[in-house]
Structure 1
Amino acid sequence: MNSSRITAADPNALHTLYEAHLAEQQRRTEHALRRGGFDALLIASGIEKFAFLDDRPYVFQPNPHFKLWVPLVRHPDSWLVIRPGHKPRLVYVQPEDYWHVPPEAPSGFWVEHFELIVVRKAEEALPYLQLPGNLAIVGEADAALGDIIPNNPPEVLNPLHYARAVKTGYELLRLREASALGAKAHLASQRAFRDGLSEAGIHRAYLESCGLAERDLPYGNIVALNEHAAVLHYQYQDERAPAQSLSLLVDAGAHSCGYASDITRTTGNGDAAFQALIDAMDAAQLRLVDQVRAGVDYRDIHLASHREIAGVLRQLGIVKMDEEAMLAQGVTSAFLPHGIGHLLGLQVHDIGGFMAGEDGGTIAKPQGHPYLRLTRVLQPGMVVTIEPGLYFIPMLLEKLRATPAAASVDWALVKHLSAFGGVRIEDDVACREAGAPENLTRDAFAALA
């Protein structure tokens, strides 16, 4: 079945994909339990947390192991019980509450696949978790319930984390849906930029377009105008628009049933030099995307990104040096200080990116590249981001000025482009069995064109 053509509006296909997804998770879990010598896996959804000396809760973040099995992201205090040869058990906490809206009664495509137990209070889950044998209990320490205390055994978690990098057909469906929502919202943010809105106004346009509240975003939106685009994780959103909006960098995603998209686009205001930089980076990014193939070491894509940046710097006359010389002298790291990307899925930075195998271990990052988040060899079903950037970061430029390479830099052009902050272009890309990768992000934008 070609899951790339399936949408959630096709209930029969969705049911088939989800059933296969659960079967694969059951297989992986039984394998991990055997390796670790455990009889069952208990997964806590997590608990609601409150600000210090306050009764105001933080946004609830479910345990990713929990939402791997069920599409529930607003359900604290619930539990899953996975046992070999048994239907998964879900202990679903549905409190009686008039202060807050409690979870609705369980319903939907997923319910029939679980032994469902509904309780009213968190502590009422305990009898359904007290099983004989050696239990692997996954969750944060504060999820403990009576004698059910998370132990997070690495001999069980390691194989589960390692395997989770490879997505099922159901997961790919949800990731495509998240990309579709994110692409729609990115187009709205670009329209808001052209209308002269502030960072906060652009952020609100993004939220309205994708239909998500801020608390529902997979991560805090980066909405950066002008020189703010040079701050890699710019965390504020000015309410006041600048006198002149030169550039917009938006790094923002959406989610579908707990699965995230992570998309970055950079937009200019018509300045020829900055638009040439955007165009050159877009072409370079697509060449890097094309390298997402089964059997490719992701570290090689990262190193290739620096060769691409060297080419852009030379092509646009920003640095008048041979590309190999730029790489040898570390010039490109002054313009691209971060990694080329990461695994994507239930978490924006999905776990397991450095794992050497089921037993754990670490695959080292390339020397001189400390911020890369993924070092594994790509496998079919892995979804990664490809996000090259070229920035004009004052502190890094000052360090570059102190090197012999400074004589080859067109500092007047750098000064001009510094007002725009920089460029980052990020797509979510799925590795296939053979041939070109699936670009979830570009496909989503194309569907909206």
Structure 2
Amino acid sequence: MHPSYFEHLQQVQQQSAAALEACGFDGLLIGSGHLHPRFLDDNYYPFRANPHFLRWLPFLSEHPHCWLLWRPGRTPVLYYHAPDDFWHLTPSVPDDWWTTAFEIRPYSAPAELHRALQPQAGLAVISEQPPAVNGVDWPHNPQALLNRLHFQRAVKTDWELHCLRQANVTAVKGHTAAEQLFHEGASEYRIHQGYLQAIEHNERDMPYDNIVALNEHAAVLHYQFQQRQAPQQSRTLLLDAGAVHLGYAADITRTFTAGGTPFAELVAALDRAQRQLLGEVKAGACFIELHRRMHHLLAGILQEHGLVNASAESIVERGISRTFFPHGLGHLLGLQVHDVGGWQQDGEGALGEPPAEHPFLRLTRELQPGFVITIEPGLYFIPSLLKKLRDSEAGADVNWQAIGQLQPWGGIRIEDNVAVTDDGCENFTRDAFAAQQAADQARAL
């Protein structure tokens, strides 16, 4: 039992009541989600619960067809789906500590749910699809309401911060195991399986598909395969892999390599630059400016290591740094890996789109205490982008011999999950790595 959950639930209700009042609704009906059959098949895709449902009920992430009915000032009602089914295990009605905050009404067939909901009026429905209740046409996913709820979600409650910390602790166990397997020469597939075993997750538990990229595959930003055959030489492992704790996600990337090479020096340099930028993450900071600042730090690395023969200012101004760091600095993190509202500037839904030169930036808001974000700079040797740079006027300033020697290592990404505070940030990821290292050292004594 974690007492901050009940405080979290009170805050969610206060925020939801304000959003409902502003949008002219009397209550909420939130569905957990439905199972989706595969095309021409009687098997289903892995279930993903509606994040709006999980914010109220993070304990029911594997339970489709449940519904939450809430009106301000009343006890939330959970319509819990417990079907009469001999093909699958029927879940028992929950009676854990958190259930005291809800009125739980089990139902087995859709008709029972529809009869229970039919007298209700003035509701806004947030779900994949509304329940088929005769004679009722509730507004479905009204955008004005979603805008307010999404904007609010960026500031995490103490409960949500607790869950995100724990997700990082779990994910770091996997990264530690994966690093060891990499140094043993394991394949991408074996590293992935070792990661899952270390964190005790199934594939369907993961917040996103792991990126397990050896050597040149590290230059593919969202590399999606896992080769069974290990390469003759394992130069690089770029591992972008997370974990989940009660619906809340960790999203961590580390790049592992052997020491004593120019690429290892680049990894160390990017790590130092990322740490330097983390010192500028605090409430009131503009994330767009932090992203630009990272480009200047990266440009300094390219210049200092002899990869580009130009000043850091020129490297940024002419767009050279974007060849090596084409994605955004980071994003909001929470119930979704790319949590909602990153461009949203207010509760009404006004958007602040990223600058034209940085179109992939997922977060454009001024940082506030309670935001949880990723900080994930990269330095990649992507063949298609390098070709464009080589064919451009700026390509004359690039040390192509050095670039060619580094391409077999693929690239680097270093990603931490941090909570913004008034005067800085709490680094969930590096704290978890430090705790893991201390525990490993203690066991070795």
| TM-score, with length taken from structure 2 | 0.95
Distance, in Å, in 2 between the alignment partners of 1:306 and 1:216 is 34
1:61 equivalent in alignment to 2:45: no
Distance, in Å, in 1 between the alignment partners of 2:282 and 2:372 is 11
Distance, in Å, in 1 between the alignment partners of 2:433 and 2:252 is 11
Matches within 5 A, 1:29-428: 29-71=16-58, 72-141=60-129, 144=132, 146=134, 147=136, 151-428=140-417
Please tell me the residue identity of whatever aligns with 2:257. Answer: G
1:440 equivalent in alignment to 2:428: yes
Matched positions, count: 435
Distance, in Å, in 1 between the alignment partners of 2:142 and 2:395 is 52
Distance, in Å, in 2 between the alignment partners of 1:367 and 1:399 is 18
Please tell me the residue identity of whatever aligns with 2:96. Answer: G
Residue 130 of structure 1 and its aligned partner are, at CA, apart by 3.1
Runs of at least 5 residues in structure 1 that lack an aligned partner in the other structure: 1-10
Any conservation in 2 of the 1:200–1:239 contact (CA below 8 Å)?
Answer: yes
Distance, in Å, in 1 between the alignment partners of 2:18 and 2:197 is 44
Deviations 1:162-211 (A, max 9, x none): 00000000000000010000011001011110111100000000000000
1:208 and 1:258, CA in 2 relative to 1: closer, same or farther beyond 3 A? same
Please tell me the residue identity of whatever aligns with 1:38. Answer: F
Please tell me the residue identity of whatever aligns with 2:39. Answer: F
Residue 261 of structure 1 and its aligned partner are, at CA, apart by 0.3
Aligned to 1:6: none
Distance, in Å, in 2 between the alignment partners of 1:427 and 1:90 is 36
**Secondary structure in 2 matching 1:184:** helix
1:419 and 1:144, CA in 2 relative to 1: closer, same or farther beyond 3 A? farther
Please tell me the residue identity of whatever aligns with 1:382. Answer: F
Query: After alignment, is 119-128 or 335-344 more displaced?
Result: 119-128
| TM-score, with length taken from structure 1 | 0.94
Query: After alignment, is 287-296 or 21-30 more displaced?
Result: 287-296
Runs of at least 5 residues in structure 2 that lack an aligned partner in the other structure: 438-445
Distance, in Å, in 1 between the alignment partners of 2:363 and 2:253 is 18
Any conservation in 2 of the 1:42–1:129 contact (CA below 8 Å)?
Answer: no
Distance, in Å, in 1 between the alignment partners of 2:13 and 2:217 is 46
Any conservation in 2 of the 1:223–1:234 contact (CA below 8 Å)?
Answer: yes
* Root-mean-square deviation over aligned CA pairs: 1.3
Any conservation in 2 of the 1:47–1:142 contact (CA below 8 Å)?
Answer: no
Query: After alignment, is 70-79 or 122-131 more displaced?
Result: 122-131
Query: After alignment, is 262-271 or 92-101 more displaced?
Result: 92-101
Any conservation in 1 of the 2:283–2:424 contact (CA below 8 Å)?
Answer: no
Residue 31 of structure 1 and its aligned partner are, at CA, apart by 0.3
Residue 143 of structure 1 and its aligned partner are, at CA, apart by 5.4
Distance, in Å, in 2 between the alignment partners of 1:193 and 1:171 is 33
Please tell me the residue identity of whatever aligns with 1:255. Answer: V
Residue 136 of structure 1 and its aligned partner are, at CA, apart by 0.5
Please tell me the residue identity of whatever aligns with 1:438. Answer: E
Residue 355 of structure 1 and its aligned partner are, at CA, apart by 0.7
Any conservation in 2 of the 1:77–1:143 contact (CA below 8 Å)?
Answer: no
